[in-house]
Structures are given as C-alpha cells and as structure tokens.
Structure 1
Amino acid sequence: MLLLSFYSMSLLAVLGVIVDRMFGEPRMRHPLVAFGRYATKLEARMNTGHRARPAGMLAWLAAVVPPVLVAWALVSVLPPAYAAAVHVILLWFALGAKSLRQHIAPIARALSLGDLESARKLASRIVSRDTSQADENALSRAAVESALENGNDAIFGALFWFVIAGGPGALAFRLANTLDAMWGYRTPRYLRFGWAAARIDDVLNFIPARLTAASYALAGDTRMAWHCWRTQARAWDSPNAGPVMASGAGSLNVLIGGAAVYHGVLEARPTLGAGHEATPRHVVAALRLVERSILLWLAILLVFALMSASGHG
C-alpha cells in the first residue's frame, strides 16, 4: 500500500514526533553522515566548472532520487502494518526536534555561566558564521536564529511533507534540505553548481516556511509576529527564512539578524524582530516557542485525523 489514509498519516506523524522525542537521533552513525560523504564525493567529481548548473542538477538527482525511490518501493509493496512502520522510521530519520534542543540548549547554559569560549565552540557546530570573536549578544542571536530557522528545516518542513507524501516525502525533504546546506552557498565554488539545490529547497520549503511562521505567530506575541513578518521578511536574503525568522523574532520580542562574518566576509544583514537585544534567556524562549509550535501542529493533526475518521465513519 503506497500511502495510507490521511487519518493514518496524521496519527503516524504524531507517532514519529513521539519517537523522536524519546530517542532523538539514532545512536548508531546517523544515515545523513553517510549521505553527506556521498554528496561530498559527488560534488568533487561533478563540480568541475564546466556546465556547472546542469552538473549541479544531475548531482542533485543522483543524490536524492535513488534513496527516495527505494523508500517509495518499500512502502508500496509492504503490507499496511509494515509500511506504517517504515513511514514512521523515515519520519524519525527526517525529524530533528530533540537534536535541535540538544545542540542549542547548551549554548544558553554556557552563556548563562559566562563561559564565552565554550559557547563559541558550541555555536560554531551549528552555524556557518565565524563565532571565534563573538560576544554574548552575537552568540545569543546566532542561537535564536538557528532555533527558529531549524524549527522549519528540521521539524515542520518534514512534518508537512510527511502528511503530503508519507515517509518518502519526509525523506526527500530532508535530503534536499541537506544538499542546500552543503551546496547552496553563493561562493565562487557553489554559486552555479549549487543553484539547483538552493532553488529546489526554496520550492519545497515555500509552504512549510509560511506555516512555520504562522505557528510561531500563534504561539507567542501574535500581533508583533504578524507585523514583523509583513514588514521585514522581504528584506531577508532567503525567501523562506525571512518569514520564519521575522515572525519568530517578533513573537519573542527580540532583535536578530545584523552583521555577521560568513566565509571570511562581513555580511550586513537586515535586522529582524523588535524589542530587546538577544540574551541567553531569549535562546531558551526560542526553544520553548518551537516546542509550543510542535504541540500546535500535533493538536491540528489530531483534529484533522478525527474529522477524517468521522467523515468516513
């Protein structure tokens, strides 16, 4: 059975979130590590500078299509109970809610203790900007931004595509998002080769990002979140990160964005949000906002599942 009913998919989505909450990332080496190594070798072989855009598109297809087709074949041929288990496992693979907290909460703790050196090292593991000279405010901003943006990339985007296309959909989203994180930079090396990865991720994220932004607005200071989303999001470089981060920052009444060093270059990013400069307490508040948004999504999924069940009763 290829895809289960909407009722079943909604319940399996809730189950996948519970599994992620209980176990987090697999204790063995995460499959994304192997995927990342394969993608790195693929890029080294195909990013030769000759016809870089077509090469990047072919590399994207070579990286994403085979594992998604295998997943699709599995849920197509297995009996419903086994297919349901595969769907949940694939969603567990795609989700990163517990991992997000495990990576960001220690930054807030280190900052609260005044341990800037530890906070810089922890932040450098989750952001691509240079944190070697970052102060408390800059590190807090980086952690808040990472929590808000990765709430979409590691949680809500995967949930959206799971409900739409089951485990294979969630897997495709996670792999596409990973390739965007690896190849989607506007550097001389990746500007043309990574164009396809960046644009595909933009398309897959368009609806989830706006649902995430709406969730952040509903789970915090709604009025300020809508205001920041409406007036600030378009100034951000990414068409999807803009709404997510502007809404999240407004919801938290915190200022994020601003200048940051990426790959040795100082980028003058616009300021998003309103209210206070970022502090360690805002990092904790951002994680709580993501948690409340998860509960909101689960509640909505359960309501739709019950409506679907009663409609077919």
Structure 2
Amino acid sequence: MAAAVAIAAVLLDAIFGEPRRAHPLVAFGRWAGWIERGLHADSRSRGLVAWSLAVLPWVGLAWLLDGLAAQVSGWLSAAFSASLLYAAIGLRSLGDHARPVAAALDTGDIEGARAAVGRIVSRDTAALSSERVAAAATESVLENGNDAVFGALFWFLLLGAPGVVLYRLANTLDAMWGYRTPRLHRFGCAAARIDDTLNLLPARLTAATYALCGHGATAWRC
C-alpha cells in the first residue's frame, strides 16, 4: 500500500505539478516567519525551541489525522497520505525549471541561460560563463532532487504521513534559517543540523541514483 501511495503521489505531480494556489509550504513559511520574529535570539537553544514549535504541531496533526482516517477506511488513509506526499514532492517542477536553462545553452543564448538559472539558484548569475551556468543548474537539480523527491519519498516509506511532513517542513526551515549569517548563525543551527541528519541517507541514495542514470564511472569518482 505504501508503494502504491508513493506511485500515486508521483503521478499526481506529473499530471498537475505543484499546486499553483495556496501551496501548504507557503502557509508554513508565514507560520515559521511569525515564530522567528517572536522568538529570535542569538541562541542555539532558542532556535531549537522555535524549530519545535514550527514543525512538531503539524507532525502531530498529520499523525492524528492519519490515524483517524485509518479507523474509517484504509483507502481514506491512503488518499490522505497520497495528498500529503503530492504536496511535498516537486519532480515536475524540477524539469520545468531546468529545461529552459538547457534549451538556452543548446542555442548559445547565454543571457537567456543566466536568466533561467537565476530563477532556481540564490547566487548572482549575471556574470556566469556557460560552464558555470550549467554547473549551477546541475547542482540545483541534484540538491532539489533530494529535497523535493527522494528525501520526501524516503521518509514517507519509513514513517508514513507524519514522516513526510517532518521531513518537508524541516527541509523548508533549513532553507529559511540554516544560514551562517550574523542573525541566523546560532539561531538557525538546529534547523541546519536537523535537516543534515534527516538527509544523511537520502542524499547519498539520490547521488547514487543520478550516478547510475548518467556517466556512471565519472559520477562515482566525483
């Protein structure tokens, strides 16, 4: 059943893509921003408390709703899990963002390639060479292939609906708080370390899968 739910979620993503309106992660971002403004301090312990308040209530709610759905019907539980997993993955979106970069590079349109890659990376792309544009796009696809696909599937198969909620929200908080800036270096430490821990195995499985799908020998050396 878990495998069927995972396949159903991937198919939903392939057909519909990411939800265009009211994406749950956008609402979570607002929730996390509100908590950060209220609890921020140059403190690792305060950051851990903020992380817990941001993530754990939603994990608990997913666990409760999944249990209630299972009591009603196994199919209702499966549908609930599939909807959560669908909201957590973004395989189609990865392709939608990466293909314009590849197309522009193929035609020699370096300005178009820089603009396209600028939509998927946080760095300044105005002066990147074609090689660096290709590298930036490849790195982003590889990382997000873990964050938005493999990692979510891994934790769903391991812990069900609560697992995918835990993983995706922790991953989102790392993207918001996990920076070594003066403001976030200590406060965001818990978010960064928890995300690292949750990705310890999925990231390696992601890299191994990409290696098997591409130039295997070169990829393994890298």
TM range (shorter): over 0.9
Q: Provide Cα deviations, 1:227-271, integer angstroms capped at 9, x if missing partner.
A: 22xxxxxxxxxxxxxxxxxxxxxxxxxxxxxxxxxxxxxxxxxxx
- Contact 2:10/2:86 (<8 A) preserved: yes
* Partner residue in 2 for 1:300: none
Q: CA deviation at 1:158?
A: 0.5
- Tell me which of 135, 144, 159 is aligned to 2:153: 159
Q: Does structure 1 residue 191 correspond to structure 2 residue 185?
A: yes
Identity of aligned residues (%): 53
- Contact 2:142/2:207 (<8 A) preserved: no
- Tell me which of 17, 23, 35 is aligned to 1:42: 35
* Partner residue in 2 for 1:54: 45
Q: Does structure 1 residue 77 correspond to structure 2 residue 71?
A: no
* Partner residue in 1 for 2:212: 218
* Partner residue in 1 for 2:198: 204
Q: CA deviation at 1:29?
A: 2.5
Q: Write the letter of the residue equivalent to 2:185.
A: L
Distance 2:109 2:209 in 1: 33
Gaps of 5+ in 1: 1-7, 229-313
Q: Write the letter of the residue equivalent to 1:74.
A: L
TM-score (norm 1): 0.67
Q: CA deviation at 1:212?
A: 1.3
Alignment of 1:167-186 (within 5 A): 167-186=161-180
Distance 2:184 2:96 in 1: 30
Q: Secondary structure at the match of 1:192?
A: coil
Q: CA deviation at 1:202?
A: 0.7
Q: Write the letter of the residue equivalent to 1:48.
A: A
Report which of the two structures shows the higher radius of gyration computed on alpha carbons: 1
Q: CA deviation at 1:216?
A: 1.9
Q: CA deviation at 1:119?
A: 2.8
Q: Does structure 1 residue 11 correspond to structure 2 residue 4?
A: yes
- Contact 1:64/1:175 (<8 A) preserved: yes
Distance 2:194 2:56 in 1: 13
Q: Does structure 1 residue 33 correspond to structure 2 residue 26?
A: yes
Q: Provide Cα deviations, 1:94-130, integer angstroms capped at 9, x if missing partner.
A: 1010011111111222333443333333322221222
Gaps of 5+ in 2: none
Whichever structure has more strand as a proportion of its residues is 1
Residues paired across the two proteins, number: 219
Q: CA deviation at 1:42?
A: 1.9
RMSD of aligned alpha carbons: 1.5
Q: CA deviation at 1:10?
A: 1.2
Whichever structure has more helix as a proportion of its residues is 2
Distance 1:100 1:26 in 2: 14
* Partner residue in 1 for 2:86: 92
Q: Secondary structure at the match of 2:199?
A: helix
Distance 2:68 2:37 in 1: 36
Q: 1:130 to 1:25 in 2, by over 3 A?
A: same
Distance 1:114 1:214 in 2: 31
* Partner residue in 1 for 2:13: 20
Q: Provide Cα deviations, 1:259-284, integer angstroms capped at 9, x if missing partner.
A: xxxxxxxxxxxxxxxxxxxxxxxxxx
Q: 1:97 to 1:47 in 2, by over 3 A?
A: same
Distance 1:120 1:222 in 2: 28
